[in-house]
Amino acid sequence: MLLPRAVLARIPRAIAARRLRHWAIPLVTGAALALLSGCRPANGHPSEPPPLLNVSFDVSRELFAEVNAAARPALQQQFGRKVEISQSHAGASKQARSVIDGVDADVVTLNTVSDIDNIARRGHLMSTNWRSLKPYHSAPYSSVIVFVVRSGNPRKIHDWADLVQPGVRLAMANPKTSGTARMVHLSAWASALKSSGGDESRARAFVADLYARAPVLDTGSRGATITFVQRRMGDALITLEAEQRIVAQEYKNAGFEVIYPGLSVDVEMPVAVVERVARKHGSLETANAYLDFLYTPRAQEIIARNHFRPRDPGVRQQFTAQFPNVDLVDIDRDLGGWDAVMVKHFAEGGVFDQAYGRQR
The answer to whether domain 5-142+268-322 and domain 145-265+330-357 are alike in fold is: yes
The CATH superfamily of 145-265+330-357 is Periplasmic binding protein-like II (3.40.190.10)
Instruction: Return the percent helix, strand and coil in the chain, to nearest 5.
Output: 50, 15, 35
Under 8 Å between Cβ of 165 and 213: no
Angle between helices 61-79 and 284-293 (to 10 degrees): 120
Q: Which residues contact 169 (CB under 8 A, 6 or more apart)?
A: 213, 214, 215, 233, 234, 235
Of residues 307, 312, 340, 305, the one with CA closest to residue 69: 305
Residue spans per domain, the chain: 5-142+268-322, 145-265+330-357
Q: Round to whole Å and give the CA distance between 36 and 34.
A: 5
Cβ pair 56, 95 in contact under 8 A? yes
| Residue range 5-142+268-322 in CATH 3.40.190.10 | yes
pTM above 0.75, yes or no: yes
Do residues 242 and 306 lie in contact, with contact meaning Cβ atoms separated by under 8 Å? Answer: yes
What would the pLDDT profile of 44-95 be if each residue is shown by its tens digit? 444 566 789 999 998 899 999 999 999 999 999 999 999 999 999 998 899 9
- Asked if 180 and 216 count as a contact pair (C-beta separation under 8 A), the reply is no
**Backbone φ and ψ of 217, nearest 5°:** -110, 110
Helices 243-250 and 221-229: crossing angle in degrees, nearest 10, is: 30
For the CA atoms of 9, 12, 17, 21, the dihedral, rounded to the nearest 10 degrees, stands at: 160
Pairing label, strands 85-90, 52-57? parallel
For the beta carbon of residue 136, count every other beta carbon within 10 angstroms.
14
Cα–Cα distance for residue pair 184/313, rounded to 1 Å:
26
- What residue ranges in the chain does DSSP mark as E strands? 52-57, 85-90, 107-109, 141-143, 145-150, 170-173, 217-218, 236-240, 256-259, 263-265, 267-269, 271-273, 309-310, 327-329
pLDDT, position 31: 40
Per-residue confidence in pLDDT tens, the chain, 360 aa: 343 444 344 334 333 333 333 333 334 444 444 444 444 544 444 456 678 999 999 889 999 999 999 999 999 999 999 999 999 999 889 999 999 999 999 999 999 999 999 999 999 999 999 999 999 999 999 999 999 999 999 999 999 999 999 999 999 999 998 999 999 999 999 999 999 999 999 999 999 999 999 989 999 888 998 999 888 999 999 999 988 877 777 666 668 999 999 999 999 999 999 999 999 999 999 999 999 999 999 999 999 999 999 999 999 999 999 999 999 999 999 999 999 999 999 999 999 999 997 555
